[in-house]
Amino acid sequence: MTVKVQAREEVLTALELAQRELGHIPRSLMTELAAAAGISVAEVYGIASFYSFLSTNPLGRHVIRVCKSLPCHIKGAEAIITSITKASGLKPGETSPDGRFSFQLVNCIGACDGSPAIMIDDDLHAGISTESIPAILERYK
């Protein structure tokens, strides 16, 4: 991707775009962004590492985010985590070798009326059960 950043205020937006298009923020891009915005590479890295939706390590094509906050936890999030591990072979924090999924545990995603809830990419899956996990994952290739 090409970097079209002219001002420092555009750095975060550019990082968000890179995350969407490339699945992570490569070192070369951070160097390029720093030069274009007139700030240090350290500062760009500081931004990229601050936000939980940005990653400097390659992530899978689809990111599974399971809410681990209290409202989901008491409604069975632990069982959902176990069944995702069973269905995908991934433990929280891992990315599949074929690059299909990354599996993360995250803080409240604002879907507590449908606990337990997970997000895959931008999509919300709420009110799910352990049995529904394989079919949900099947939709993301």
Partner 1 sequence: MPEQRIVLRNCGAVDSRSLDSFLKRDGFEALKKARGTAPDRTIEEVKASGLRGRGGAGFPCGAKWELTRKSPGDQKYIICNADEGEVGTFKDRHIIQNDPFSLIEAIAIAGHAIGAMKGFIYLRAEYRRFRGLLDTAIEQSKERGFLSGFDIEIRDGAGAYVCGEESALMDSIEGRRGEARFKPPFPPTSGLWSKPTVINNVETLMNVPPIILRGSAWFSSIGTERSKGTKVFSVAGDVERPGVYELVMGSHLRELVVNLAKAKEPNLIQIGGATGRIVPVTMLDTPLAFESLLGAGAITVFNNSRDVIYVVLRTMEFLAEESCGKCTPCREGTAVMVGIMERFASGEASERDIANLEALSRTMAVSSLCGLGQAAPTAVTDTLQYFRNTYESRMRKEPVGVKS
Per CB under 8 A, residues contacting partner 1 are 7-13, 15-16, 19, 37, 46-47, 50-54, 69-71, 73-74, 106-115, 119, 122-124
State the nearest-atom distance from the C-beta of 36 to partner 1, in Å.
12
- Beta carbon nearer to partner 1, 19 or 95: 19
Three-state secondary structure of 48-64: HCCCCCCCCCCCCCEEE
State the nearest-atom distance from the C-beta of 2 to partner 1, in Å.
18
- Beta carbon nearer to partner 1, 119 or 137: 119
Least Cα distance to 76 among 45, 42, 117 occurs for: 117
Is residue 106 within a helix (H) or strand (E), and if so which, with residue range?
Answer: strand 101-106
- Beta carbon nearer to partner 1, 7 or 98: 7
In 3-state terms, what secondary structure has residue 117?
Answer: coil
Three-state secondary structure of 11-32: HHHHHHHHHHHHCCCCHHHHHH
State the nearest-atom distance from the C-beta of 91 to partner 1, in Å.
19
State the nearest-atom distance from the C-beta of 27 to partner 1, in Å.
18
